[in-house]
């Protein structure tokens, strides 16, 4: 038996770790399971490259077990284990990462091995919840097993142990005020949250499984049949989630199935998905889903989950994914995203910027290809996806440039034009005196019904732009497109349109018109509204009352907040 002092420069590092390293106590389990996973993956790698001669890798799993009577939580693996010397080296040296050392040593062959650890601090998070921690471990290389014990000070004991099989068992003696971690429900919750897609099977207790009904039962047997059950290992994770596979291996049904796995409580199917897969200049995999968003402005922004080597990190991807895409769902997994750093730092990080730009580009490319492949289908989805696209156009210039080619502008007749198509349609009879194209649009089909009708009777195209961010989008389009202006169908510019081949013939004399106009102006305030007679020469609407375009826009902008500058943070109810 050996005793010694843990080699740290700080007098007592544990209070520090407990207080500052992780704000969340619950992550200790994630860290210990990550270590167990690393130990298993290392063995897998060593057997694969022929460095672990005579070792059978087999089908190793990790087991998590609660022993209520003794107040302990156990995490047990069948990985490489440690010799006594290795315990000295890896455990007693705080902040020395064996994972990093392994990756350094097997640089070329191990870079895709999925090893998780690298700070050399994860193990000590055990002391956030345990007053005493034991390690019983036996190396795959054979030799005597080792038993390390530490009670949360810098003192430890290290002695020989009886252990037949290779691998490591970590025993946590849970402290008095952390007893929740002895509850099955709590552990189960943590496993589902952090470990659901980790690469080595994780067993937590057993479950009852119903055996399939035998075939060819007689009618009599059928009547008496009672379903047979058996107890099987309860494996809490799917070690091969869809995003770790190549897109070519997956069918539409696989993507839908994975969506249900990610969101078991979500019954509606996603509209489509985007598979992310890149390994240069950074590593990133993932699957994003476009859910049906509709007009709902109350969109939760915490539905994309961030993983690192299949370990759940967070469901707050702000700063990593461009803001407009936080409305999507799905998973991204990248070892290159720095963790435990502030969001503002993230936004300035070079790798993160590249990741964000890559994701934006992939989303734009996917939308473009959907548009190209099946226009009709794309149109049918437009109302459910437009909110993301419109936000994207406003907030990301690169996306704006790409989205121009597939952004649809619906008309009041339920047809859809791209901007180019629209320009072509209106170039002959919807221009103003400066030869600018004038796009007419309605924001409320019912309220503006008579104006719409009047414009249609004139042969004008009328768009239906009813999403709350339209005022901002219009401003952006008007500044980026040189020769275009948007006028709401009940705006005052509509009578200035030049229809190239028509003359207006009035049914009233000028004198009569003036009289009627005066009569109306006694009831509507002249300063804010304009009364026009026969402006559209329509039988349906002989008279229209309009509001100057600039007045209306001012009001709209005030309603959605944030003047000219767009920022989702300013939007109401987002």
d(C-alpha 98, C-alpha 118), whole Å: 8
d(C-alpha 187, C-alpha 33), whole Å: 12
- 355, 185, 160, 383: which is closest to 276 by C-alpha? 355
Among 60, 122, 291, 322, binds ligand ADP (CB under 6 A): 122
Smallest gap, in angstroms, from Cβ of residue 97 to Mg ion? 7
d(C-alpha 392, C-alpha 476), whole Å: 12
Smallest gap, in angstroms, from Cβ of residue 80 to ligand ADP? 6
Smallest gap, in angstroms, from Cβ of residue 74 to ligand ADP? 12
What b/e sequence results for 220-229 when a residue is b if at least 16 CB atoms lie within 10 Å of its CB, and e otherwise? eeeeeeeeee
Tokens at 80, concatenated: 């490489």
The stretch among 77-85, 369-377, 412-420, 504-512 that binds ligand ADP (CB under 6 A) is: 77-85
Residue 77, marked binder: yes
Smallest gap, in angstroms, from Cβ of residue 472 to Mg ion? 46
Residue 405, marked binder: no
Residues 156 to 175 in contact with ligand ADP, rule: CB under 6 A: 168
Binding flag, residue 322, Mg ion (CB under 5 A)? no
CB closer to ligand ADP, 31 vs 492: 31
**Range 391-394, long-range pairs (CB < 8 A, 24+ positions):** 391/323, 391/324, 391/327, 391/469, 391/568, 392/322, 392/324, 392/325, 392/360, 392/363, 393/473, 393/476, 394/324, 394/469, 394/472, 394/473, 394/476, 394/566
The stretch among 34-42, 187-195, 388-396, 533-541 that binds ligand ADP (CB under 6 A) is: 34-42
Give Dmax over CA atoms of the chain in angstroms.
114
Q: Which residues pair with 73 in a beta bridge?
A: 66, 172
97 binds, among ligand ADP, Mg ion, none (CB under 5 to 8 A by kind): ligand ADP
The stretch among 116-124, 150-158, 342-350, 380-388 that binds ligand ADP (CB under 6 A) is: 116-124
Among 47, 83, 92, 97, binds ligand ADP (CB under 6 A): 97
Among 25, 65, 74, 118, binds ligand ADP (CB under 6 A): 118
d(C-alpha 388, C-alpha 6), whole Å: 53
The stretch among 7-15, 33-41, 297-305, 527-535 that binds ligand ADP (CB under 6 A) is: 33-41
Residues 182 to 211 in contact with ligand ADP, rule: CB under 6 A: none
Cα dihedral sign, 321-322-323-325: negative
Residue 35, marked binder: yes
Residue 343, marked binder: yes
Among 123, 127, 371, 406, binds ligand ADP (CB under 6 A): 123
Q: How far is CA 239 from CA 62, 69, 220, 310, 492, in A?
A: 12, 31, 43, 9, 63
Among 82, 187, 412, 544, binds ligand ADP (CB under 6 A): 82
Tokens at 356, concatenated: 């964000």
Among 60, 114, 117, 471, binds ligand ADP (CB under 6 A): 117
Residues 22 to 41 in contact with Mg ion, rule: CB under 5 A: 35
Contact 282, 356 (CB under 8 A): no
Among 60, 64, 73, 77, binds ligand ADP (CB under 6 A): 77
Q: Which residues pair with 134 in a beta bridge?
A: 149, 171
387 binds, among Mg ion, ligand ADP, none (CB under 5 to 8 A by kind): none
Among 6, 33, 39, 262, binds ligand ADP (CB under 6 A): 39
Start-to-end CA distance of the chain, whole Å, equals: 62
Smallest gap, in angstroms, from Cβ of residue 339 to ligand ADP? 12
- Provide the 8-state DSSP code for 572: T
Binding flag, residue 136, ligand ADP (CB under 6 A)? no
Binding flag, residue 36, ligand ADP (CB under 6 A)? yes
471 binds, among Mg ion, ligand ADP, none (CB under 5 to 8 A by kind): none
Smallest gap, in angstroms, from Cβ of residue 165 to Mg ion? 22
Binding flag, residue 122, Mg ion (CB under 5 A)? yes
Among 27, 33, 99, 477, binds ligand ADP (CB under 6 A): 99
CB closer to ligand ADP, 61 vs 275: 61
Q: Is 85 exposed, middle or buried (0-12, 13-18, 19+ CB in 10 A)?
A: exposed
d(C-alpha 300, C-alpha 127), whole Å: 35
| β-pairing verdict for 155-161 and 167-174 | unpaired
Smallest gap, in angstroms, from Cβ of residue 31 to ligand ADP? 6
Smallest gap, in angstroms, from Cβ of residue 300 to ligand ADP? 32
Binding flag, residue 79, ligand ADP (CB under 6 A)? yes
HEC profile of 1-61: CEEEECCCCCCCHHHHHHHHHCCCCCHHHHHHHHHHHHHHHHHHHHHHCCCCCCCCCCCCC
CB closer to Mg ion, 8 vs 357: 8
Binding flag, residue 117, Mg ion (CB under 5 A)? yes
Smallest gap, in angstroms, from Cβ of residue 249 to Mg ion? 30
d(C-alpha 116, C-alpha 104), whole Å: 13
The stretch among 72-80, 338-346, 381-389, 393-401 that binds ligand ADP (CB under 6 A) is: 72-80
CB closer to Mg ion, 28 vs 417: 28
- Look-up of token digits 């994914």: 321
d(C-alpha 246, C-alpha 504), whole Å: 64
d(C-alpha 436, C-alpha 447), whole Å: 27
Residue numbers at the binding site for ligand ADP (CB under 6 A): 31, 35-36, 38-39, 77, 79-82, 90-91, 97-99, 117-123, 168
Binding residues for ATP: 31, 35, 77, 82, 97-98, 168, 343
């Amino acid at each position: 038996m050996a005793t010694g002092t843990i080699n740290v420069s700080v007098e007592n590092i544990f209070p520090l770790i407990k207080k500052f390293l992780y704000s969340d106590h619950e992550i200790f389990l994630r860290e210990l399971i990550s270590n167990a996973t690393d130990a298993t993956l290392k063995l897998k790698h060593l057997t694969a490259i022929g460095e672990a001669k005579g070792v059978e890798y087999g089908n190793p799993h990790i087991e998590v077990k609660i022993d209520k009577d003794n107040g302990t939580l156990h995490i047990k693996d069948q990985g490489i284990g440690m010799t006594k010397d290795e315990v000295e080296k890896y455990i007693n040296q705080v902040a020395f990462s064996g994972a990093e050392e392994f990756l350094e040593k097997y640089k070329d062959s191990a870079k895709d091995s999925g090893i998780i650890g690298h700070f050399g601090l994860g193990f000590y998070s055990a002391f956030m919840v345990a007053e005493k921690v034991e390690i019983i471990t036996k190396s795959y290389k054979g030799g005597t097993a080792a038993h390390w014990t530490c009670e949360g000070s810098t003192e430890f004991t290290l002695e020989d142990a009886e252990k037949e099989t290779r691998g490591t068992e970590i025993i946590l003696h849970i402290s008095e005020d952390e007893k929740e971690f002895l509850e099955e429900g709590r552990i189960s919750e943590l496993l589902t949250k952090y470990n659901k897609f980790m690469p080595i099977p994780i067993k937590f207790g057993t479950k009852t499984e119903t055996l399939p009904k035998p075939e060819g039962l007689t009618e009599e047997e059928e009547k008496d049949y009672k379903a047979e059950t058996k107890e099987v290992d309860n494996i809490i994770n799917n070690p091969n989630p869809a995003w770790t596979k190549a897109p070519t291996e997956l069918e539409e049904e696989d993507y839908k199935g994975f969506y249900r796995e990610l969101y078991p409580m979500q019954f509606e199917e996603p509209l489509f998905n985007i598979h992310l897969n890149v390994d240069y200049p950074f590593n990133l995999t993932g699957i994003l889903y476009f859910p049906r968003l509709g007009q709902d402005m109350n969109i939760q922004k915490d539905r994309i989950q961030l993983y690192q080597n299949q370990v759940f990190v967070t469901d707050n991807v702000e700063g990593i994914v461009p803001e407009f895409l936080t409305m999507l769902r799905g998973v991204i997994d990248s070892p290159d995203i720095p963790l435990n750093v502030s969001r503002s730092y993230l936004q300035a990080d070079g790798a993160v910027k590249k990741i964000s730009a890559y994701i934006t580009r992939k989303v734009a490319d996917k939308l473009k290809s959907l548009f190209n492949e099946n226009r009709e289908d794309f149109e049918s989805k437009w109302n459910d996806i437009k909110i993301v696209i419109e936000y994207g156009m406003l907030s990301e210039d690169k996306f704006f440039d790409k989205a121009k080619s597939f952004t649809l502008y619906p008309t009041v007749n339920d047809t859809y034009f791209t901007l180019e198509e629209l320009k072509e349609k209106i170039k002959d009879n919807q221009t103003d005196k400066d030869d600018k194209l004038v796009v007419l649009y309605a924001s409320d089909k019912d309220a503006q019904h008579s104006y719409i009708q009047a414009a249609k009777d004139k042969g004008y195209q009328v768009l239906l732009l009813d999403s709350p961010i339209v005022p901002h989008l219009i401003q952006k389009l008007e500044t980026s497109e040189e020769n275009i202006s948007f006028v709401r169908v009940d705006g005052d510019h509509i009578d200035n349109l030049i229809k190239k081949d028509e003359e207006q013939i009035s049914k009233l004399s000028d004198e009569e018109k003036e009289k009627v106009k005066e009569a109306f102006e006694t009831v509507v305030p002249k300063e804010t509204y304009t009364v026009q007679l026969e402006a559209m020469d329509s039988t349906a609407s002989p008279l229209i009352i309009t509001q100057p375009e600039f007045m209306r826009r001012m009001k709209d902008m005030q309603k959605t907040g944030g003047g000219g500058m767009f920022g989702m943070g300013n939007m109401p109810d987002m």
